[in-house]
């Protein structure tokens, strides 16, 4: 039987979450030999996901170092991946989204004239430095890719304006919804015990995450100071903050929010805990990309701690709101959602524009179709 060798390459938590359902589909497919390579740009936060979705890793480049620079990550991946590509000679590599792992893996594959499929292609903020360096990572990966799997029609239109040929683009929905639907449970009991003790019924619980490089320093200090003031102001409000393992984030979080009554600073949560926590909180404040995509499925409003977002569909649907990093603006926006129930209701229970749980199936089928291992092309999302 003719088989194609497909190599999935990823390295951070969000890529692992979004690639996991697709890798599991590829593994089931008899006409595919699936190889998994992790750069380990993240270590513990990657391993949490790899274990949860039982992904079998074939190559682990183990590149993470504390406080790594973008050049550290790029140089190591480019050098270390080369030997893997020479040894395995895949027909196609899959990369995801906008991380430095994705861009550099695509560059390494290009140097060896190996075909590249880009999952979660076509998102654009059109701001070079926000998200930084992800806007440019995603655009450059798009330049290198042969097949572009876009979550939405909007994303496809962005690529068309960049003169990417329509025949190379396929709209799939976002695989994050596939992952989310696998782990969401109505009667969920948290592995992180602190969460089992939180009073979700009588308190207004805010879930906070923050890690973006462009927010590190002053801007992140503004966000944390806003949180501090909000818990002082409202005795009925508590904040859960699973703190990213980036030492710069942890130091600042500890300095401004450490030992504060009503603020739970905890370690990054496993994906099951995190998504089921999202489903139980009152509102979410974040600078994350993936969380903006997941929240509409869970019916929760998101205040986005950035000046721009490439998740324009959620913005247009009214499910998320851009508030930036100005302390007073953050406090004002949270107060509005706490006090004004009409404003709150306007943001919740929107249809999720990002997916229906079948993105991985569409991608897997389309790859087989491209290599003439399937005759019929699936419908786009």
Q: Which residues of 236-248 are buried (b: 16+ CB within 10 A; e: fewer)?
A: ebbbbbbbbbbee
Which residue of 5, 31, 60, 68 would you call a contact of ligand UD1, by CB under 6 A?
A: 68
Of how many residues is the chain composed? 381
User: From residue 342 to residue 371, what is the string marking binding to ligand UD1 with x (rule CB under 6 A)?
Assistant: ------------------------------
Question: What is the size of the binding site for ligand UD1 (CB under 6 A)?
Answer: 24
13 vs 219, beta carbon nearer ligand UDP = 13
Tokens encoding 375: 């005759």
- Work out whether 288 is an interface residue with ligand UDP (CB under 6 A): yes
Per the DSSP assignment, residues forming a β-bridge with 264 are: 240
8 vs 34, beta carbon nearer ligand UD1 = 8
Whether 211 is catalytic is: yes
Per the DSSP assignment, residues forming a β-bridge with 286 are: 209, 304
In the complex, minimum distance from the CB of residue 375 to ligand UD1, in angstroms, rounded to a whole number:
38
- Work out whether 274 is an interface residue with ligand UDP (CB under 6 A): yes
Whether 98 is catalytic is: yes
Instruction: Specify the DSSP element, H or E, that contains 9.
Output: strand 4-10
d(CA 380, CA 151): 10
Whether 148 is catalytic is: no
Strands 263-266 and 237-242: parallel
Site residues (CB under 6 A) for ligand UDP, limited to 147-186? 176
Strands 59-60 and 92-96: unpaired
Whether 134 is catalytic is: yes
d(CA 320, CA 344): 11
Q: Which stretch binds ligand UDP (CB under 6 A): 119-127, 154-162, 287-295, 304-312?
A: 287-295
In the complex, minimum distance from the CB of residue 312 to ligand UDP, in angstroms, rounded to a whole number:
16
Q: In what order do the strands lie in the sheet with 147-150?
A: 59-60, 32-38, 4-10, 92-96, 115-119, 147-150, 169-171
Q: Which stretch binds ligand UDP (CB under 6 A): 9-17, 23-31, 85-93, 302-310?
A: 9-17
In the complex, minimum distance from the CB of residue 268 to ligand UD1, in angstroms, rounded to a whole number:
8
First to last CA, the chain: 30
- Work out whether 136 is an interface residue with ligand UD1 (CB under 6 A): no
d(CA 240, CA 267): 10
- Work out whether 41 is an interface residue with ligand UD1 (CB under 6 A): yes
Site residues (CB under 6 A) for ligand UD1, limited to 204-263? 211, 213, 245-247
Q: Select which of 43, 213, 234, 250 is catalytic.
A: 213
Q: Which stretch binds ligand UDP (CB under 6 A): 81-89, 269-277, 310-318, 319-327?
A: 269-277
């Amino acid at each position: 039987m003719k088989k194609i060798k497909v190599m999935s390459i990823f390295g951070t938590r969000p890529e692992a979450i979004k690639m996991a359902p697709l890798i599991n589909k590829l593994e089931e497919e008899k006409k595919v030999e699936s190889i998994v390579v992790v750069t380990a740009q993240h270590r513990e936060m990657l391993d949490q996901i790899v274990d949860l979705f039982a992904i079998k890793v074939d190559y682990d480049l183990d590149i993470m170092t504390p406080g790594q620079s973008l050049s550290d990550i790029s140089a190591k991946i480019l050098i270390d991946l080369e030997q893997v590509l020479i040894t395995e000679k895949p027909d196609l590599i899959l990369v995801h989204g906008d991380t430095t792992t994705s861009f550099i893996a695509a560059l390494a594959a290009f140097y060896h004239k190996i075909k590249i499929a880009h999952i979660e292609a076509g998102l654009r903020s059109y701001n070079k430095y926000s998200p930084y360096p992800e806007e440019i990572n995603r655009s450059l990966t798009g330049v290198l890719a042969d097949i572009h799997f876009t979550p939405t029609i909007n994303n496809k239109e962005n690529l068309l304006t960049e003169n990417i040929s329509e025949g190379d683009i396929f709209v799939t929905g976002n695989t994050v919804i596939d992952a989310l639907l696998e782990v969401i449970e109505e009667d969920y009991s948290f592995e992180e015990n602190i969460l089992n003790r939180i009073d979700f019924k009588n308190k207004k619980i805010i879930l906070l995450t923050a890690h973006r490089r462009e927010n590190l320093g002053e801007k992140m200090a503004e966000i944390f100071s806003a949180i501090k003031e909000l818990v002082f102001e409202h005795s009925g409000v508590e904040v859960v903050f699973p703190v990213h393992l980036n030492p710069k984030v942890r130091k600042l979080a500890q300095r401004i929010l450490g030992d504060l009554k009503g603020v739970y600073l905890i370690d990054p949560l496993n994906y099951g805990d995190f998504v089921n926590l999202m489903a139980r909180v009152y509102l979410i404040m974040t600078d994350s990309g993936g969380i903006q995509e997941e929240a509409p499925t869970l019916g929760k409003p998101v205040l986005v701690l950035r000046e721009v977002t490439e998740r324009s569909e959620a913005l247009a649907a009214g499910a998320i709101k851009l508030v930036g990093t100005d302390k007073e603006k953050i406090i004002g926006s949270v107060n509005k959602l706490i006090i004004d129930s009409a404003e709150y209701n306007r943001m919740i229970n929107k249809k999720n524009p990002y997916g229906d749980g079948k993105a991985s199936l569409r991608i897997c089928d389309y790859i087989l179709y491209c290599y003439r291992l399937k005759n019929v092309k699936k419908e786009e999302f």
